[in-house]
Chains A and B, each alone.
Chain A
Amino acid sequence: MIYGFFLRAIVVGVISGFLCAFIGVFVILRKMAFFSHAIAHIALTGVAIGFLVNVNPLASALGFSVVVGMLIPPLIEKSRLSVDTIIGILLPSSMAIGVILLGFVKGYKPDLLSYLFGDILAVSSKDLYIILGLAVFSIVLMYFIFNETTIMSFDEDWAKVSGIRVKYLNYLFVLLLSLIVIISIKIVGIILVSALVIIPGAAAINIAKNLRETFIYSILIGILGELVGIIASYFLNIPTGPSIVLTISIIFILTLRRRK
C-alpha cells in the first residue's frame, strides 16, 4: 500500500518534472513566468467549482484555467495595461473567488493547504490515469508545435513573415502550459508549481552553450529535482512539494557558480 502511493508519486513526479522543465524553456524565453504562476492560481477556482458540482477537481481546474488563460491574450491586446498588470489583477481576484467558493462546499471539505502546497498522498490511481492521459496529449501537442513555437519565441516578426499563425499558435501554447501546470499541481501545489516550470530552465541557461543543451539540461534538472525531492521528503519526513522545489533551487544555486 505504502509502495503503491510512493510509486505513483515517482511516476507523476517524473512526468511533471519532464513536462514542466521542457515548457519552462519557452516560458522563460517568452517572459511568461508570471503567466504560468497565474494559471496555477486560477486553478483554485476550478478546484472549488469541481467540488461544488461534483466533478473531478483536477478536470474542472483544467477547464477553468484553460478558459481564463485563453482570455488573457486578447485582453492584453485590447488593453493599454501591460501583461503583468492584467495578471496581477486576475490572479488575486480568481484566488479570492476560489477560497470563498471552497467555503460553500458541503460535506467533505477539501483541504485548502493540500491544494496550495500539494499532497503527494492524494494522488489516487484515478488521478494517475488522468495525468497520464494529459501527459500523452501534451507530448503529442508539443511535438507538433515545437519548431514553430521556437521560431515565434525568438522573433515574432520573423515568425509572421515566415507564415506562422502566431495568434493561433499562442492559444495552443497557453493550452499546453495550462495542461502541464495542472498536472503538477497535485504534487507541489498551486503556490509552488511555477518553480517547477521556471527554475530548471533558468538553471539550464546558466550552464548551456546552445539551445539543444538548454532543453536537455532543463529536463534533466527537472526530473532529478523531482526524484531527489520525493525521496528526500519520504526519508526526512518533510512535505513533498517544498522538498522538490528546494532541491531544484539548490541545483539552480550550483549552476550559478559555473556561469561564464
Chain B
Amino acid sequence: MNNDTILSVKNLSVRYQDFEAISNISFELKRGDIAIIIGPNGAGKTTLLKAILDLLPHEGEVRILGKKISEISREERARIGYVSQKVDIIQNFPVTVKELLELSIKKTYPKSKEQKMKIEQYLDLLHISHLANKAIGELSGGQQQRFLIARALILSPEILLLDEPIAGIDITGEQTFYEFITCMNKQYGITTLLVSHDVTVVEKIASKVICVNRTLICEGKPDEVLSEEKFEELYGREASVYKHKFCKEGEPCEFYKDRGDLK
C-alpha cells in the first residue's frame, strides 16, 4: 500500500448467520479513481460497501484514508461520504430536509450562517432548494435520493461511496449525476466507489471496475477485464448483460400489449 492508495480491502468476508454473503474480497483504490462495483441482484454489493464502512460485522482488513475506519476521528469522518441504497431515515416524522442537513454539518460548521450557506449551496446543486422546508417523508423516492446525495457531499468528502445512487432518479437527473461525478473527480480529485446494476455506466465513467458475485470475479480497467466470459461468470450463462437489451428493437415492451390502459 503506497501513498496513492486511498482504500484497501483485504480478504473481506461477511456472513449473515450461516450464509456467507461475500467471501475473501480484496482490492485497492487509488486516489482519483472512479471505481464501479457491478454484479447481479443479491451478489453482495451492498454488503461489501457496508462492510467497508464498518456498518456490518466482518472479517478481513479495510484501510480507508490510510487508517482503520475505527481509528478515524469524528472530525476526520467528514472526508468520507456515503449514500446508502435505501433511505433508512424514519418516514412520517416531522423533520425537514434542512433540519437533517443542519444536524449533519453542525459539528464541522458551528456557525449558523455558514450552515445556512452550505445548505443552500448543496440543495441548489441537487435541484431540491424548493424542498428545504418539506418533511423528509413528503419527498418522492427520487427526491429523497437527491437529499441523500446532498448530505453525502455537503462536507466535501475526499472519498465517496455510493450504493446505486441514481436508482430512483429520472433520466436527465441520471445524466447530470454522472457528469457531476466525473466533474468532481477531474476538478477536485474526488475518489468514487459506486455500486451500479447498470453496466452501461461503467463504459461511461469508470476508471476501474470491480465485479462481485459473492467473491471477486474480476477487477481492473473496464476495457481490459470486461470480457464476454467474465460477464457469463458474473451474471450467469444465458444473460450476457453486456449486449442484453430490455426490449427488442422496433417492438418495445411487447409484453405490455395486453394492458388496455396502455398504448
Contacts and interface: CB of A to CB of B under 8 A. Distances in A.
A122 B99 CA distance: 43
Contacts of B93: 29, 154, 205, 214
Given A205-B93, A211-B95, A163 B103 contact: no
Contacts of B100: 154
Contacts of B77: 161-163
Contacts of B82: 157-158, 161
A216 to B, nearest CB: 12
A247 B90 CA distance: 29
Interface string A72-105: 0000000000000000000000000000000000
B80 interface: yes
Nearest to A208: B94
A156 B88 contact: yes
Contacts of A212: 99
B94 A157 contact: no
A209 B94 contact: yes
A15 B243 CA distance: 68
Interface in A99-157: 147, 150-151, 153-157
Nearest to B17: A80
Dominant SS among interface residues on chain B: loop
B259 interface: no
A213 to B, nearest CB: 7
Interface string B43-76: 0000000100111000000000000000011111
B215 interface: no
Contacts, number: 71
Interface in B91-135: 93-96, 99-100, 103-104, 106-107, 133, 135
Interface string B158-197: 0000000000000000000000000000000000000000
Q: Give the interface centre of B76, B77, B95 by most chain A CB atoms within 10 Å.
A: B95
A153 to B, nearest CB: 8
Contacts of A157: 50, 53, 55, 82, 84, 88
A154 to B, nearest CB: 5
Given A157-B84, A161-B77, A210 B55 contact: no
A210 B151 CA distance: 18
Given A161-B53, A163-B72, A150 B103 contact: yes
Contacts of A156: 88
A164 interface: yes
Nearest to A164: B74
A177 to B, nearest CB: 18
B201 interface: no
Contacts of B239: none
Contacts of A153: 90
A158 B55 CA distance: 9
A212 B102 CA distance: 12
B94 A210 contact: yes
A210 B106 CA distance: 17
Given A147-B103, A158-B82, A162-B74, A211 B94 contact: yes
A147 B100 CA distance: 11
Contact of B90 (A29, A147, A208): A29
Given A150-B103, A209-B94, A163 B55 contact: no
Contacts of B73: 163
A209 B82 CA distance: 28
A163 B53 CA distance: 10
A200 B149 CA distance: 34
A162 B104 contact: yes
A210 B74 contact: no
The 9 closest A-B pairs by CB, nearest first: A163-B74, A163-B77, A211-B95, A208-B94, A210-B96, A161-B82, A211-B99, A155-B89, A157-B55
16 contacts: A29-B90, A29-B93, A154-B90, A154-B100, A154-B103, A161-B53, A161-B80, A162-B74, A163-B73, A163-B76, A205-B93, A210-B94, A211-B95, A211-B96, A213-B94, A214-B93
Interface of A: 29, 147, 150-151, 153-158, 160-164, 205, 208-214
